[in-house]
């Protein structure tokens, strides 16, 4: 068995170098497919970080009627804090809301003068509610819409924030679907290239294979070298794709960090490069082995 395996490896490597230009073209196609695949993995990291950053800034703001007393608002705050879906509840009084509004519009003389001329504070007290998970905002909104609480509430910002979350989820889903479609298409193209390359290699070596079968060589010994050749193509494509994507990730990392605080995509790439290589290696080898096996199997059946 050791002798058979060593011969399979030897002939597989020999075939790889013998078909130099075909091997180069096949590796190029497989590298392109692998680049899209690793790009999807990195894109998933970026979208997850972006979604987390946006979700962290999204909350429900509940504005109370000016006739609602502070004691009633604080009582509602306590009831909200007891809900399992709620992570935190911050109370903003009318005075705090007015101070914040004045600070935000300190450079606008018209607004500042209008506020100073008012006899009463027109701003409403509010509660800023953050859920443990964005999917739980609907349940919190239903709780606030109950008849016992709605009489004190003027407005709830849930619908506005929910549209942002839904829009983000739609964009991420559409891009992911498109990316996977491109990956599958390129994987099929790479598989067909490998299949045709192996068929050409078998045709050029048909006399040698015929002699091997006449002297009693097993199907494993005939099939093995071409499968090894497919594995070599996949392994080289995996290495090449990571080498090509590394400088691209390094270049875009500062720009992504400027838009998504706390995200260091190059650090993630460097830290998880072993896992990324395994993913790429598995992706490339599956294409190479499957296509090679299919091509040889079709020849052996003839």
Q: List, for residues 230-284, the tens digit of each pLDDT value.
A: 788 788 888 999 999 999 999 999 988 888 877 888 999 989 999 889 988 888 8
Q: What is the pLDDT along the chain (302 residues), one digit of tens a residue?
A: 566 566 666 665 666 666 667 777 778 888 888 888 888 788 878 877 877 777 677 778 899 988 888 899 999 999 999 999 898 999 999 888 888 887 887 777 777 677 777 777 778 899 999 888 777 888 888 888 887 888 888 888 876 666 776 676 677 677 777 777 877 887 777 777 777 776 766 666 666 666 666 666 566 666 677 777 778 878 888 899 999 999 999 999 998 888 887 788 899 998 999 988 998 888 888 877 777 777 777 666 65
What angle (nearest 5°) sits at the alpha carbon of residue 149, between those of residues 148 and 153? Answer: 145
- Please tell me the pTM assigned to this model: 0.63
Q: Catalogue the E-assigned strands of 104-169.
A: 126-131, 153-156
Cα torsion angle, 234, 236, 239, 240, sign: negative
Question: Which residues does 14 contact at the CB level (< 8 Å), separation at least 6?
Answer: 225
> Which residue ranges form the domains of the chain, and what is each CATH number?
2-54+166-301 (no CATH), 66-151 (3.30.70.3040)
Using DSSP, state whether 133 is helix, strand or coil.
coil
């Amino acid at each position: 068995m050791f002798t058979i395996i060593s011969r399979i490896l030897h002939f597989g490597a020999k075939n790889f170098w013998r078909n130099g230009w075909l091997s180069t073209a096949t590796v190029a196609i497989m590298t392109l497919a692998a680049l899209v695949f690793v790009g999807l993995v990195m894109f998933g990291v970026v979208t997850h970080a972006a979604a987390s950053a946006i979700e962290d800034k999204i909350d429900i703001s509940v504005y109370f009627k000016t006739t609602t007393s502070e004691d009633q608002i604080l009582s509602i705050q306590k009831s909200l804090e007891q809900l399992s879906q709620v992570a935190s509840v911050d109370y903003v009084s009318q005075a705090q809301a007015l101070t914040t509004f004045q600070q935000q519009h300190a450079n606008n003389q018209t607004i500042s003068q209008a506020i100073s001329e008012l006899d009463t504070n027109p701003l409403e007290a509010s509660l800023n509610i953050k859920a443990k998970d964005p999917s739980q905002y609907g349940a919190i909104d239903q709780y606030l819409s109950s008849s016992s609480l709605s009489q004190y509430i003027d407005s709830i910002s849930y619908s506005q924030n929910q549209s942002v979350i839904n829009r983000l989820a739609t964009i991420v889903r559409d891009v992911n679907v498109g990316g996977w479609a491109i990956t599958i298409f390129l994987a099929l193209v790479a598989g067909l290239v490998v299949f045709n390359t192996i068929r050409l290699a078998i045709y050029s070596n048909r006399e040698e294979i015929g002699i091997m079968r006449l002297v009693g060589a097993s199907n494993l010994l005939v099939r093995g070298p071409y499968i090894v050749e497919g594995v070599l193509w996949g392994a080289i494509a995996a290495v090449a794709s990571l080498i090509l994507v590394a400088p691209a990730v390094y270049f875009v990392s500062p720009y992504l960090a400027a838009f998504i605080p706390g995200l260091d995509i190059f650090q993630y790439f460097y830290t998880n490069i072993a896992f990324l290589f395994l993913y790429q290696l598995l992706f490339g080898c599956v294409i190479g082995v499957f296509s090679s096996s299919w091509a040889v199997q079709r020849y052996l059946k003839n």
